[in-house]
Amino acid sequence: MSESTTAPTASGAQAIPSHAQLIKAMAIALSVAGVLLVTTIMPAEYGIDPTGAGRLMGLTGISEASTEAPVALDTGAASGLAQVLTNVSSPYQTDITTVTLPPGQGLEVKAVMEAGQVMTFAWVTDGGAVSLDMHGEPPGDGSNFTSHRKGQNETAAQGIFVAPFAGTHGWWWANKTKAPITVTLQTSGFYTSIGKR
CATH number at residue 164: 2.60.120.380
Residue at 189 is within a domain: yes
Contact assessment for residue 120 and residue 103, using Cβ atoms and an 8 Å cutoff: no
Residue at 161 is within a domain: yes
Q: What is the mean pLDDT of the chain?
A: 81
Q: What is the pLDDT of residue 22?
A: 83
Enumerate the β-bridge partners of residue 154: 130
Residue at 81 is within a domain: no
The answer for residues whose C-beta is within 8 angstroms of residue 157's C-beta and 6 or more apart is: 121, 122, 123, 132, 151
Residue at 24 is within a domain: yes
Residue at 86 is within a domain: no
Q: How many domains does the chain have?
A: 2
- Let me know whether 43 and 104 are in one domain: no
Per residue in 71-124, pLDDT tens? Answer: 554 555 555 555 556 677 778 999 999 999 999 999 999 999 999 899 999 999
- Let me know whether 97 and 188 are in one domain: yes
| CA atoms of 197 and 181, how far apart (whole Å) | 18
- Residue 174 — very low, low, confident or very high, per pLDDT cuts 50/70/90? very high
Containing domain of residue 164, as a range?
A: 92-196
- Let me know whether 99 and 181 are in one domain: yes
- Let me know whether 61 and 99 are in one domain: no
Q: What is the pLDDT of residue 63?
A: 58
Q: Examine the pLDDT at 182 and tell me if it is beyond 60.
A: yes
Q: Examine the pLDDT at 7 and tell me if it is beyond 60.
A: no
Range with lowest mean pLDDT among 53-67, 106-120, 167-181 = 53-67
Q: What is the pLDDT of residue 2?
A: 46
| Of residues 19 and 133, more confidently modeled | 133
Strands (E), the chain: 92-101, 106-113, 118-125, 130-137, 146-154, 156-162, 167-174, 181-190, 193-196
